[in-house]
Chain A
Amino acid sequence: MSSQAKFTHAEAAEQFIADEPRTDWHDDTLWFVREKRDKAANSLPEWEQLRQWASDIKYHVLSNMHQYLEAFEQKAIANGIQVHWAKDAKEHNDIVYKIIKDNQVQRIVKSKSMLTEECHLNEFLGEQGVEIVDTDLGERIVQFRKEAPSHIVLPAIHLKKQDVSETFHEHLGTEKGNHDPQYLTEAARGHLRDKFVASELAITGVNFAVAETGGFVVCTNEGNADMGAHAAKIHIACMGFEKLIPRAEHLGVFLRLLARSATGQPITTYSSHFSKPRAGQQMHIVIVDNGRSRQLGREEFRNSLKCIRCAACFNTCPVYRRSGGHSYHTAVAGPIGSILNPNLDMEANKDLPFASTLCGSCSNVCPVKINIHEQLYLWRQTITKEGLAPKAKSIAMWGMSEVLAHPAIYRLAGKMGRWVVKHLPFLTNNGLNPWFKQREMPQAPKESFRDWYLNNKQK
């Protein structure tokens, strides 16, 4: 299971930044979300304690996952929910398709589910001739444009209202040139309401699944998950197994953190607790592994499975804000995506752990205290050990390490016109020097500090 991404993060980022005013706008917009998050966090004196509880609860679940999954399944079945298991994306998609076929339904709505993005469900069903209508406003916008979401909470954050206006003019017949978000949202409401009322099957994600109750919680602000799930006669909820938590009371911890971290809201508008199908309704849960049990076995990386998909790490990441979600060429972008995706496909995603300055802001905003920046560092080591580093880089690194390990050679090299200018990796001078493109080189002084020391202090 390995492949080559079409482009690297660095290449896509360079293209993104070529439009500097738009980059500034993207950066400012997401920074504003980060600021709202800070304000919400600071409204609770116990914020850091909450993060610790959340992290500890998640670790407890990871360390008892087998037991909790069985308990959850048992209770869910007793509640009248049909439980399915999928080892990978293909099995997940096949299960969903089979339910659609068995029930001969055509009108399908789907609310936001990053898992279905990860599994490329829409593309798969499209190939089978089944059309899915994404109902989250942002997802509907990108679906019309045949794009992927660029952010897991704000799927259309890479677009400006003018872009949305053009898309809606084309697909929904809205007034050309009317960019008013209120007007455009109203048009989408009308369009999607018809889809909800007519829908036969609704697919939703799962924010939290509760082992104790056999139920699950779905959070939205728009109400689209509920409009779909309660209108349709079939509800399929898709979840990675790491969504489990032990008891309903633990939702108290997670719901306090989720929206505050994501958007700075005190809670999402709708936190819907599903535990049984309504009379006459079919309710399915698809529990997906898709590499998660492998990640569970990687001691250094298992904590990434604590993620609750709030995207706080996206909003705070200075690299994400200036490169856009699509530059990460994966369903889940941003810092968390860069530690999750190498597990799914190391070769195709080997660039992602390097798309970071390791500044550590991501780990600080993470509501479940995932050591994201440390895992980025560790993935770099793993990727190199697997032999996936570019050859030229390996040779340069080897040369440098040899020089730096031997003081005499280092000093000789330094004397020979400040060797470092040419060979320190961040000053590498082979071919087009990326440092010099937009920056002046440091000016080499007459003597090194060591020379000065010998001349002035050790006479």
Chain B
Amino acid sequence: MKIGLFIPCYIDQFYPAVGVASLELLEKLGCEVSFPLNQTCCGQPMANSGFEAMSKGCDKNFVKNFKGFDYIVAPSGSCVLHIKEHLHDEDDPKAADVIRSRVYELTEFLIDVLKIEKLNASFPFKVGLHTSCHGQRGLHLASMSELVAPAFSKPGALLNMVKGIELTRPKRVDECCGFGGTFCVFEEAVSVKMGKDRIDEHQDNDVQYITGVDTSCLMHLEGILRRQNSPIKTIHIAEILNSQL
């Protein structure tokens, strides 16, 4: 099973530890992982801003890098969803189709493909789970509070395998944090207010960490937390699942 590790651009540049944790975790679980060296970005920032047409170059580059893998795994629900829904390549349409069907968000891959039932991880802290929208409502990583359907959570199931963790949920269990890609600057006021409100609910639970499957949401929450001089830290789920504290 050959796995291509897809590390989204802002993780590559700002949060390399998330990439390291993802890679180590997959290797620990017996996967053969490689990181195609010429990858950049999924193209979502342009597409979500209405410039889908400009993301063609990214698409081509993505296909070039990830063609031929059995699975493509990334520690980001949002970027994976974008690839799944929007990756096209006029020169190699078939390769793009195959990639779209083989790209997985990390927790989805662990639960659905590797069928993980236990983990050798420990993280003795009180952790609030932020449910990121694209992973949840787009990739169905967790049940959605709007629907009349049985409850489940793939990230939640994995976190519950971690020793010592005390997992909490905010009162509004799956409300958006307000990051929203370019929304976070073009609608700065609403974006920050949404983020503050998420943080308040985690604070009510006395959490030490806020975790989630999307570094973008966490980066936004972290920016607000640091401005508030809050002791609460953000941490990507891969880092917890790979933790041996």
Contacts and interface: CB of A to CB of B under 8 A. Distances in A.
Interface of A: 9-10, 13-14, 17, 20, 23-24, 27, 31, 38, 41-42, 44-45, 47-48, 316, 318-319, 322-323, 353-361, 363-365, 377, 380-381, 383-385, 389, 393-394, 397-398, 400-407, 410, 414, 418-421, 424-428, 433-435, 437-445, 447-454, 457
A418 B13 contact: yes
Given A361-B137, A442-B222, A448 B12 contact: yes
B185 A425 contact: yes
Interface stretch (B52-60, B93-101, B107-115, B157-165): B52-60
Interface in B200-227: 219-220, 222-224, 226-227
Given A426-B181, A440-B223, A364 B146 contact: yes
B57 A394 contact: no
Nearest to B60: A405
A360 B139 CA distance: 11
Given A38-B145, A410-B41, 18 more contacts: A318-B175, A322-B193, A357-B176, A357-B191, A358-B180, A361-B137, A361-B174, A363-B137, A364-B137, A381-B50, A383-B50, A398-B51, A405-B56, A425-B185, A435-B223, A439-B192, A440-B227, A449-B20
Contacts of B50: 353-354, 380-381, 383-384, 389
Contacts of B53: 381, 384-385
B244 to A, nearest CB: 18
Given A357-B176, A357-B180, A359-B133, A407 B45 contact: no
Given A361-B137, A440-B226, A445-B16, A450 B61 contact: no
Contact of B55 (A394, A401, A414): A401
Contact of A358 (B41, B51, B133): B133
Contacts of A393: 49
Contacts of A435: 184-185, 188, 223
Contacts of A444: 13-14
Nearest to A382: B50
Contact of A406 (B57, B176, B180): B57
Nearest to A397: B51
A447 B16 contact: yes
Q: Give the dominant DSSP class at A's interface.
A: helix
Interface string B1-41: 00000010111111111111001000000000001011111
A41 B38 CA distance: 48
Contact of B48 (A13, A319, A358, A394): A358
Interface in B110-165: 133-134, 137-138, 144-149
Q: Among the interface residues B9, B38, B187, which one has the most CB atoms of the partner chain A within 10 A?
A: B187
Given A13-B189, A357-B133, A384-B50, A450 B58 contact: no
A318 B195 CA distance: 11
Nearest to A44: B148
Contacts of A41: 148
B166 interface: no
B66 interface: no
A449 B6 CA distance: 11
Nearest to A450: B12
A434 B185 contact: yes
A112 to B, nearest CB: 25
B46 A441 contact: no
A17 B189 contact: yes
A358 B180 CA distance: 7
Interface residues of B, number: 77
Contact of A425 (B19, B49, B148): B49
A448 B13 contact: yes
B43 to A, nearest CB: 7
A401 B182 contact: no
Contacts of A452: 16, 19-20
B179 interface: yes
Nearest to B35: A453
A360 B38 contact: no
Contacts of A354: 49-50, 182-183, 186-187
Contacts of B10: 420, 424, 442
24 contacts: A13-B190, A48-B147, A316-B146, A322-B193, A354-B49, A357-B178, A360-B137, A361-B144, A361-B146, A365-B146, A393-B49, A404-B40, A406-B40, A407-B39, A424-B45, A426-B45, A435-B185, A435-B188, A439-B224, A440-B222, A442-B10, A445-B14, A451-B16, A457-B23
Contacts of A404: 9, 40-41, 43, 46, 57-58, 61
Q: Among the interface residues B20, B43, B184, B190, which one has the most CB atoms of the partner chain A within 10 A?
A: B190
**Which 8 A/B pairs are nearest by Cβ-Cβ distance?**
A405-B57, A357-B180, A439-B223, A380-B50, A364-B146, A449-B19, A384-B50, A359-B176
Given A23-B193, A318-B178, A380 B16 contact: no
Nearest to A10: B187
Contacts of B174: 361
A361 B134 CA distance: 10
A458 to B, nearest CB: 8
B184 A31 contact: no
Contacts of B219: 442
Contacts of B227: 438-440
A410 B20 contact: no
